[in-house]
Amino acid sequence: MSLRIELLLVLGFMHLLLTSGQDQDYVYLHALMDNWQNTPPNWVGSDPCGDEWVGITCTGSRVTSITLANIDLSGELSGDIAQLSELRTLDLSYNKRLTGSLTPEIGKLNKLSSLILVGCGFNGPLPESLGSLPQLSYLALNSNGFTGRIPPSFGNLTKLYWFDIADNKLSGGIPVSDGATPGLDLLVNTKHFHFGKNKLSGEIPSQLFSSKMTLKHVLFEDNDLTGTIPLTLGLVQNLEVLRLDRNRLSGEVPSNINNLTSVNQLFLSNNNLNGRLPNLTGMSVLNHLDMSNNSFEASEIPPWFSSLQSLTTLMMQNTGLQGEVPVGLFSIPQIETVVMRNNKLNGTVDLGVTYSTHLRLIDMTNNLINGFTLRKGYSADLMYVRYPRLLFFWDKRGCLTHTFYNPMGKALFVGNPFCSGSEASKAYCDQPTGSNYSYSTPANNCVPANTCSLPQVPSPNCKCLYPYSGTLFFRAPSFSDLGNSTIYTSLQNTMMDTFESNQLPVDSLSLSSPIKKKNDYLEISLEIFPSGDERFNRSGISRVAFVFSNQTYKPPHFFGPYFFIGNNYDSFADASKGKPRSVSIGIIVGVSVGGCVLLLLLIFAGLYACRQKGRAEKATKKNSPFASWDPDKGSGACPQLKGARSFTYEELKTYTNNFTATANIGAGGFGMVYRGTLPNGQLVAIKRAQGHSTQGGLEFKTEIELLSRVHHKNVVSLVGFCFDEGEQMLVYEYIVNGTLKDSLSARGLQYLHDLADPPIIHRDVKTTNILLDERLNAKVADFGLSKPMVLDPIIGLNTQLQGLERFVDIALRCVEDTGDQRPRMSEVMKEIENIMELAGINPNVESASTSESYEGKSNRHDHPYLSESLFTYSGGLLPSSVD
């Protein structure tokens, strides 16, 4: 079988694995399932697209959408999600038991446009990799437990429309670009910055806003932001809702804030703002204004209040207001609520002639007001007809002195002077105990069921059903009259229209228990009842929940921005998995045939792998004679070693601490030398061949065999070698006291000959006259009989050069270039003896020593591996046979 045919078979096998029968995305979905509990019961089989798995939407055979909101999933989101490369929408909202950190692998989903994880249990930092999603337009991560900073990389999300990270535990500043890193100021196409209810700190960067931005909502409420409100905020002309309340902002409100003529809700309360009240003239569509609890300069109520003709709610408690309340304030057509508690307002409150028919609450608690006057022509009965929720109080002259409205359980004039008068009534001067006001959607022209078995609930259509419930949170409603039933009717009508247009299985819905809490969010309980069955199945729940998590449902504009948190649904119609589905004969035949084909291809692939392995082994054996050497076997191609062992590269790497610079003790022609320590504590010197110094396998093997046979107490021993991973290394015993060269007495003789004054000739230099001190430093001894003469007179050649020429001749012959021209040592000694005998000197007599010769050990740190001559091992040793 030729190599080409084998390759074609292998490629065909791989293609079959990728495309046969099963969609590749099934594998990745199954990996996600391994980390989840309570997955939909119909997630069985191996074709999520063809079998229409709940929450899975496909294009062709590729998964493009996962919407599993509120089906009680638990576990963690694994990095396998990144393998679904065609995924465009991921919604896992309202699964509170989905926990753990958000995997950074999501950043690899290049086609993802919607990432929706509202109301889950995720925690940890927001991954930087989310900023790498080029198609992301909708990002909703609110109501989790995320911590850490907002990643600057989010500034790369140029297509982002919706950006909601509210109600988490995020901290740090708001990132802006600096030329090197991106920032949120680059999100010029984003419409929603929902960052409220976090722990964000620092100043709001002036660079964050510009005239290029198209923001509609800036919700920064309930954080720890400091500094001033940036002047650049006035450049964002499309802004509709601005919440900066409940921070620690200071300084004056920018004078150009009235350029925001599209703003209808403005919250600046509960900060440290100071200076004069801002002039909001021109903000003609403003509905809700709250600047309470700041440190503004004391001033009278500005006349521009009355120019805000769209105003429904005016909240100005504890803002330094003083003087009388202008009559025109209550004539604003849509005004519902006026709260001016804890100021220094005085005089008489006059409603005027044309006060608004929508007025529901006037709260002047803790001021200096001493009266409440109504113009002539109005009677108490008329006032009651027009204002059924207001309590009016008249004096003996028929003038209205004061009024009280108590839908929220609050008194209007507690803490004012007129409450101490004789005409004062406890009804408006005593603190009320609270409110029992509530709202609930009425029945739709039917007789409600008498009883429903729990947990069934009667629907507005008078059916006992298992509703899906949750809470709607409206972040900035423009109205304040919670008793107006028409607003709830409009809310449920628009919601039902959305359900019907999206063909959702909804019979009816019920709204109840509206309440405003201290953060000024309006909360409304919601129950949604199923149609066609008494229970929702998982598909129905996830589709209904997606309408809210994806903001498909748009409430009436006066409700403002909202989000929804769903409750767990415990009554699924598909709670039981039931019996497994039967498998058709066609599937069985297809699987059998496919299995046989796969088996044949596996056999061919195995044969091909074995053949290639054999070729590789032959090539390796040819290039490396040690390739087949097993140290546990004493035959074959292994080197015949005597007292030396083989080391692996990893072992020597460990012994030298990864060949660090601190272990390096020298370098030479052979390569580098390192000091190492064996596990038994023995010090070794490791010569590591580099580049041109490496030999062929056979030569190196011959070398170590010969070196391993040399054993003598005066010869450095070979401990072992390494021939592994392309390395050639020799391991020698480590000699601690340096080289003989370091201990020779040449420096002493040089001093006597060249530097002593006058110069001294030793006359008797020999090994017994060279002594070693405690540090093995060489000391020249026994030159007490030396004379300051150019020539030694003992040999009788004081004035004759002929004898000296004989010594010079021997010396010159000793330094000839080739060995055959140099005399042997025995010849040199014989010649010297002859010269001495001619001079009458007995060469066998040693001169007396003035110091004892001694041997000693040294603690010096020099070592013998600094000399380049010791780095080369000889390649000219006698050859030995190699098996």
Compute the distance between CA of residue 111 and CA of residue 101 in angstroms, rounded to an integer: 22
Which contacts (CB < 8 Å, 24+ apart) does range 394-400 have? 395/423, 399/373, 399/374, 400/351, 400/372, 400/373, 400/374
319: left (phi over 0), alpha (psi -120 to 50) or beta: alpha
Stated as kind and residue range, the H or E segment containing 342 is: none
The single-letter DSSP state of residue 118 is: T
- Of 465, 461, 464, 463, nearest to 445 (Cα)? 461
Compute the distance between CA of residue 704 and CA of residue 689 in angstroms, rounded to an integer: 14
Compute the distance between CA of residue 226 and CA of residue 222 in angstroms, rounded to an integer: 12
Report whether 618 belongs to an annotated binding site: no
Give me the phi and psi of 808, to 5 degrees please.
-65, -40
Given a contact cutoff of 8 angstroms between Cβ atoms, the answer to whether 135 and 159 are in contact is: yes
Given a contact cutoff of 8 angstroms between Cβ atoms, the answer to whether 337 and 312 are in contact is: yes
**Residue of 23, 363, 520, 764 marked active site:** 764
- Of 372, 361, 487, nearest to 435 (Cα)? 361
- Of 387, 432, 438, 385, nearest to 406 (Cα)? 432
- Of 773, 437, 605, 800, nearest to 5 (Cα)? 605
Burial class (CB in 10 A: 0-12, 13-18, 19+), 239: buried
Compute the distance between CA of residue 121 and CA of residue 133 in angstroms, rounded to an integer: 23
Compute the distance between CA of residue 138 and CA of residue 153 in angstroms, rounded to an integer: 16
One-letter amino acid at 313 equals T
* Whether 764 is catalytic: yes
Cis peptide before 793 (omega within 30 of 0): no
One-letter amino acid at 778 equals A
Pairing of strands 295-296, 313-315: unpaired
Compute the distance between CA of residue 508 and CA of residue 445 in angstroms, rounded to an integer: 13
Given a contact cutoff of 8 angstroms between Cβ atoms, the answer to whether 10 and 608 are in contact is: yes
One-letter amino acid at 681 equals G
Residue with tokens 């901290």: 171
Those residues with Cβ within 8 angstroms of residue 522's Cβ, 6 or more apart along the chain or in another chain:
473, 474, 477, 482, 514, 515, 516, 559
Q: How many residues does the chain have?
A: 883
Given a contact cutoff of 8 angstroms between Cβ atoms, the answer to whether 688 and 671 are in contact is: yes
Chain mean position to CA 799: 93
Residue with tokens 């790369």: 156
Angle, to 10 degrees, between the axis of helix 3-19 and the axis of helix 585-623?
Answer: 140
Given a contact cutoff of 8 angstroms between Cβ atoms, the answer to whether 51 and 88 are in contact is: no
Q: Alpha helix locations (H) across 399-537?
A: 426-429, 485-501
3-state helix, strand, coil in the chain (%, to 5): 25, 20, 50
Determine how many CB atoms are found less than 10 A away from the CB of residue 423.
12
Compute the distance between CA of residue 338 and CA of residue 472 in angstroms, rounded to an integer: 26
Residue with tokens 């804030």: 257
| DSSP annotation string for 577-589 | --SPPPPPHHHHH
Tell me how far apart the terminal alpha carbons of the chain are, to the nearest angstrom: 35
Chain mean position to CA 197: 22
Tokens of 432: 């009320």
- Of 340, 332, 281, nearest to 310 (Cα)? 332
Instruction: Summarize the annotated binding site for ATP as residue ranges.
Output: 687
Instruction: Summarize the annotated binding site as residue ranges.
Output: 687
User: Which residues are known catalytic residues?
Assistant: 764
